[in-house]
Amino acid sequence: MMRPDGTEEKNEEGNTLVWLTGIALLMQMISIFIYVPTERTEGVIQRIMYFHVPCAWLSFFAFFVVFICSILFLWKKDREWDIYAHASAGIGVVFCSLVLITGPIWARPIWGAWWVWDARLTSTLILWLIYVAYLMLRAQSDSGSMRARYAAVLGIVGFLNIPFIHFSVLWWRTFHPQPKVITNEGIGKGMDPSMLATLGLSLFAFTLLYFLLMGERVRQEKLKDEIDHLKRKNFYSS
Amino acid sequence: MNIFVSQIMAIVWKDFVTEFKTRELFSAMFIFALLVILIFIFSVNLSIVKASEVGPGILWVAFLFSGTLGLNRSFVLEKENGCLMGLILAPADRTTIYFGKLISNFVFLTAMELFILPLFMVFFNIDLLEHLLPLLLVIFLGTLGFCTLGTLLSSLSSNLKTREIMLPILLYPLLVPIVIGVVRMTGQILAGEPLSGMMNWIGLTASFDIIYIGVSIMTIDHILEE
């Protein structure tokens, strides 16, 4: 309506992504619940892995995007990068929360406890806290340029902290299952091929989901900017 | 280079003079650290738990909490009467503001820690004098790490609406690696282990300090920009 040029085209592009993501998620469901065999020792609960691992992948990927966009923002000072960083941080926190929820559900029957202070659990929790603080910082500071600069600094500082968190908690203690997909014997030797295929499909579906959500969030933020702009124009200019 | 150092020293000297005149920050930090230690002593039963096991954690929590008080003041003080604007407008590189604040924060916190250590020794019945040198090295590394990141984030949070609340929320998750490191090292030192057995932790905290000084130099311009 506001922009008759290319709005139609953009919608169609968005629609293809929606369809692709929908189909991928549906296929993921089918393969998780029908195709893939039940794990021998852990039983049916192990199927939660096909959500848990992709959620973790998606949130780490989202935080990496925040880091890159923060650097690009401080370099170019372009509002576009700030929008991307904000959108990605929000999505990352949502999926990091999902990791922290699905983790204990899986851990309870297997380890016999909801929560153990294992290395990867602890570092995910700290990561979640860092990016919740990032979102709080954005909510706390009002003026546009200041908020963007501060958030970008925290986006960089926070991501650079990840290796430190990783090693410090690793030396602190660890219980997590050793990496199964990429082992010393090569990629994918530690797992049944059907499980590996399902996991791959899940990762693919969640990556599509990330881009879909990202597109929506960016569109929202841009509309918000436009509304602010119109408001300022109509209230203060006359 | 010489000008750079003298500019930094001017800022540090200014902070020292203010502190000697008012004496409000140091005493507040010291008493607060003491209170934190006391509260922890009341919350753990020292007749059941070994003092040398809980001691290091309590000591560092006290340092961390009272250090946060100092960090909060560090830039908020400059906001009054537009002093920060004056510093920014001064014909000097903005990293000098960062380094000046870093050094004064570091000196205040270290001085406070040196006053707390004897009290810690008395309260917990731990002999620190035996392992004093390695302990001082650990305190140096830990305090430096706390101050590098703390000064950067304090310069940032001083411009927020709820600055006293936001600083710990931003700072503490980022400090987790260094807290785990120093508490571990302090515990091992008090147990009589040599420094050579904890080279990985020393490397971790030292590289934390160096990397965050570097990041601060690169990003402080974007924070102190009005």
Q: How far apart are CA A60 and CA B61, in angstroms?
A: 29
Phi, psi torsion values for B47, nearest 5 degrees: -80, -15
Task: Tell me which residues of chain A, numbers 154 to 183, contact chain B at a CB-CB cutoff of 8 Å.
Answer: 154, 156-158, 160-161, 164-165, 167-169, 171-172
Residue A11 pLDDT class (50, 70, 90 cuts): low
User: Hey, of A131, A143, A153, which one would you mutate to test binding to chain B, going by the most B CBs within 10 A of its CB?
Assistant: A153
> If we measure between CA atoms, which residue out of A66, A67, A177, A63 comes closest to residue A126?
A63
Residues of B in contact with A151 (CB under 8 A): none
DSSP assignment letter at A32: I
Taking each helix axis from N to C end, the angle separating B94-124 and B24-43, rounded to the nearest 10 degrees, works out to 40
Q: Which of A31-35, A229-233, B141-145 is the most confident on average?
A: B141-145
Minimal Cβ distance to A150: which of B149, B215, B223: B223
Express each pLDDT in B162-177 by its tens digit: 888 899 999 999 999 9
- Could you tell me if residue B50 is left (phi over 0), alpha (psi between -120 and 50 degrees) or otherwise beta? beta
Q: Do residue A153 and residue B156 have CB atoms under 8 angstroms apart? A: yes
Express each pLDDT in A168-206 by its tens digit: 887 876 555 555 555 544 555 566 777 888 888 888 888
DSSP track, A136-195? HHHHH--SHHHHHHHHHHHHHHHHHHHHHHHHHHHHH---SPPPSSEETTEETTTS-HHH
- Amino acid B110: pLDDT: 93
Q: Where are the domains of chain B?
A: 2-223
How close B17 gets to chain A, by Cα (Å)?
30
Q: State mean pLDDT over A131-145.
A: 86
Q: Tell whether the model's pLDDT for residue B210 goes beyond 80.
A: yes
Q: Do residue B219 and residue A146 have CB atoms under 8 angstroms apart? A: no
Q: Do residue B174 and residue A130 have CB atoms under 8 angstroms apart? A: yes
Quote ipTM for the complex: 0.89
Q: Do residue A161 and residue B170 have CB atoms under 8 angstroms apart? A: no
Using alpha carbons only, what angle is made at residue B131 by residues B125 and B137, rounded to the nearest 5 degrees?
A: 120
Q: How far out from the chain centre does Cα A68 lie?
A: 14
Q: Tell whether the model's pLDDT for residue B61 goes beyond 90.
A: yes
3-state secondary structure of A62: helix
A–B: how many Cβ contacts below 8 A?
80
Minimal Cβ distance to A168: which of B160, B173, B177: B177
Q: How far apart are CA A189 and CA A170, in angstroms?
A: 24
> If we measure between CA atoms, which residue out of B4, B183, B216 comes closest to residue B93?
B4
> If we measure between CA atoms, which residue out of B28, B70, B156 comes closest to residue A158?
B156
Q: How far apart are CA B110 and CA B124, in angstroms?
A: 20
Phi, psi torsion values for A224, nearest 5 degrees: -60, -45
Residue A43 pLDDT class (50, 70, 90 cuts): confident
- Amino acid A12: pLDDT: 62
What pTM was estimated for this model as a whole?
0.87
Residue A65 pLDDT class (50, 70, 90 cuts): very high
Q: Tell whether the model's pLDDT for residue B129 goes beyond 90.
A: no
Q: Tell whether the model's pLDDT for residue A76 goes beyond 90.
A: no
- Amino acid A5: pLDDT: 47
Q: How far apart are CA A158 and CA A136, in angstroms?
A: 14
Which residues, in sequence order, are CB contacts of B147 under 8 Å at separation 6+?
B67, B71, B102, B105, B106, B109
Which residues, in sequence order, are CB contacts of A17 under 8 Å at separation 6+?
A208, A211, A212, A215
Q: How far apart are CA B206 and CA B202, in angstroms?
A: 6
Q: How far apart are CA A137 and CA A92, in angstroms?
A: 16
- Amino acid A6: pLDDT: 45
Share of chain B above pLDDT 70, in %: 99
- Amino acid A195: pLDDT: 81
Phi, psi torsion values for B125, nearest 5 degrees: 55, 40
Q: Tell whether the model's pLDDT for residue B1 goes beyond 80.
A: no
3-state secondary structure of B145: helix
Q: What share of chain A is helix, strand, coil (3-state, %, to 5)?
A: 80, 5, 20
Beta bridge partners of A182: A187
Q: State mean pLDDT over B6-33.
A: 88
Structure-token pair, residue A31: 């393969």
> If we measure between CA atoms, which residue out of B34, B116, B102 comes closest to residue B70?
B102
Task: Tell me which residues of chain A, numbers 12 to 71, contact chain B at a CB-CB cutoff of 8 Å.
Answer: none
Q: How far apart are CA A67 and CA A75, in angstroms?
A: 12
Q: State mean pLDDT over B31-42.
A: 92
DSSP assignment letter at A43: B
Residues of B in contact with A156 (CB under 8 A): 215, 219
Q: Do residue A160 and residue B169 have CB atoms under 8 angstroms apart? A: no
How close A71 gets to chain B, by Cα (Å)?
10
Q: State mean pLDDT over A23-52.
A: 80
> Around Cβ B142, how many Cβ atoms within 10 Å?
26
Q: Tell whether the model's pLDDT for residue A89 goes beyond 70.
A: yes
Q: Tell whether the model's pLDDT for residue A91 goes beyond 50.
A: yes
Name the residue in chain A with its Cα closest to that of B200.
A171
Q: What share of chain B is helix, strand, coil (3-state, %, to 5)?
A: 85, 0, 15
Q: Tell whether the model's pLDDT for residue A79 goes beyond 80.
A: yes
How close B165 gets to chain A, by Cα (Å)?
11
Q: Tell whether the model's pLDDT for residue A4 goes beyond 50.
A: no
Q: Tell whether the model's pLDDT for residue A72 goes beyond 70.
A: yes
Name the residue in chain A with its Cα closest to that of B198.
A171
Q: How does the average pLDDT of chain B come out, rounded? A: 88
Phi, psi torsion values for A182, nearest 5 degrees: -110, 100
- Amino acid A131: pLDDT: 94
Q: Do residue B156 and residue A165 have CB atoms under 8 angstroms apart? A: no
Q: Tell whether the model's pLDDT for residue B152 goes beyond 90.
A: yes
Beta carbons of A28 and A36 less than 8 angstroms apart: no
- Amino acid B44: pLDDT: 85
Q: Tell whether the model's pLDDT for residue A45 goes beyond 80.
A: no
